[in-house]
Amino acid sequence: LDAAMVRRAQSGQDHSHSPLSHRNSSGKRYDYLIVGAGFAGSVLAERLASDGGKRVLLCDRRPHIGGNAYDFHDASGILVHKYGPHIFHTNSDAIFSYLSRFTAWRSYEHRVLADVAGTLLPIPINRTTLNGLYGLDLRNDVQAAAFLASRAENLEAIISSKDVVVATVGSDLYRAFFEGYTRKQWGLDPSELDKSVTARIPTRTDTDDRYFQDSIQAMPLHGYTRMFENILDHDNIDILLEAEFSDVRKDYKAAHTIFTGPIDEYYGYRFGALPYRSLQFQHETHDKRRVQPVGVINYPSEEIPYTRITEYKHLTGQVHPKTSVSYEFACAEGDPYYPIPRPENQALFKRYEQLANASPNVTFVGRLGTYKYYNMDQVVGQALATYRRLQAVTSDEKVA
């Protein structure tokens, strides 16, 4: 690898084709080589460099920092998320206050509508959804709860993503909102997926139509990429973009590696490939101010090939005469985005985890490294906890 590829990240546009300023790091030794410049890798780079005083080399095979949260201004100047909509939400004051060192925020409460046979209804299912779908006039929580109870099915055990929905709202609502969406998103029937997947979506008897109920819900005021630039703006951090770990490891030496890519890739797939679900995004700009009433519309019908459409200006608050949207198409091949929660996959992950436990010079973090369907705040929390653990190990070594 050419040392001239060491770059510092710069602001606000798609960096894919523009050479950035360079840093000559040839011959430098690092305390840590971190693979992946998403939340997991960037938070660890920041902690190790600025709190721990360590020298860090951070590499990513993509041409930008930010991992899947990367955003950029498209050809029309509209801030969009390259890898689909990212809304920050958390109940952790500690995680929010850590990130607040690197960004100001815009309050944003996400709302989603589902297109059920041409009618737009709130998802998560709430009282408005029930009244809208069935032409009812349920007036309070008690009436809505009684309606749901009359539909819910009694199951002996709740194991799958189908069970958890059918046991709460019954088969009809399950088919309308969950069955087709889940089959498209995961390439599996909900009966083949852990209950944890659809259990992410609650059912409500009130009229709260927010997608999340976390105490903190916000978007980085100047976007995620700008926040990552601030996280990584430290003299002890060098960054290599468009740089594969397999190449970087040949040219740069570090005492410890932190790997936030897929754990099965690190170990050469020796027990077989862990399944990940991938996505393709179709981005479009329209010559109008608005195309949909909320940030995201879900399309549960299997007759429609995409799962959801996002209109970014709702999320970012940007004022612009045009508007940009993205369609999401789920697929088996391509960049790994989602670990697939099922018992056999977890069992395979555990075999890789055993290898990891026996590898003292590498630490796995993040959604791909630990094969967990984590939100951004959970990855930040995991990275901060990993830093504390690494620090404890270092101070134990000093004592010894």
Distance CA 316, CA 335 (A): 26
Site string for ligand FAD, 267-286 (x = CB under 6 A): ------------x-------
Strand order across the beta sheet in which 105-107 lies: 88-90, 216-220, 105-107
Distance CA 190, CA 115 (A): 19
> At closest approach, how far in Å is the CB of 247 from ligand FAD?
8
> At closest approach, how far in Å is the CB of 317 from ligand FAD?
16
Distance CA 246, CA 266 (A): 9
371 contributes a contact to ligand UDP by CB under 6 A: no
Binding partner selected for residue 114 from ligand FAD, ligand UDP, none, CB under the kind-specific 5 to 8 Å limit: ligand UDP
End-to-end CA distance of the chain: 37
Cβ proximity to ligand UDP, 123 vs 309, nearer residue: 123
Q: DSSP assignment of 273-300, as one string?
A: PPPEEEEEEEEEEESSS-SSSSSEEE--
Site string for ligand UDP, 104-143 (x = CB under 6 A): ----------x--------x--------------------
Site string for ligand FAD, 317-356 (x = CB under 6 A): --------------------x-------------------
Distance CA 128, CA 24 (A): 59
Tokens of 39: 């939340």
Tokens of 7: 């770059």
CB atoms within 10 A of CB 139: 10
Binding partner selected for residue 59 from ligand UDP, ligand FAD, none, CB under the kind-specific 5 to 8 Å limit: ligand FAD
Cβ proximity to ligand FAD, 37 vs 384, nearer residue: 37
Site string for ligand UDP, 300-319 (x = CB under 6 A): x-------------------
Residues that bind ligand UDP (CB under 6 A): 114, 123, 177-178, 181-182, 185, 197-198, 200-201, 298, 300
